[in-house]
Amino acid sequence: MKSWVKLSLFYIGKSKKHQIFRVKQWNRNFEKIYRKPVFNMNYEEIGYIKEIFGPITLPFISIKTLPNKEFSPYNELFVKV
């Protein structure tokens, strides 16, 4: 059974194709979110985790948003793992 995980992220900014965030809390179990779909607080899919990079303790996450989907980086984001 898959469960919802709320992402604890700090918005850094937008690159040419992705939204970049810094993780506020991290543990090695979160590595399962790589390439998983990302959902907003209404549980509508808005994109997916494109890349996890940077320091192991507090990495950066790149989210590729879906075209024609409204994205606000300050809303709560969820992943199903």
The answer on pLDDT for 2 being more than 80 is no
pLDDT of residue 54: 92
Give the residue among 68, 27, 30, 62 at the shortest CA–CA distance from 48.
Answer: 62
Backbone angles phi, psi at 7, to 5 degrees: -85, 130
Quote the domain boundaries for residue 38.
4-80
Check which CATH number belongs to the domain holding 22 and give it: 2.40.10.230
Identify whether the C-beta of residue 12 lies closer than 8 Å to the C-beta of residue 20: yes
pTM of the model: 0.89
Residues 18-52 pLDDT 10s = 999 999 988 888 888 999 999 999 999 999 999 99
Total domain count, the chain: 1
pLDDT higher at 71 or 48: 48
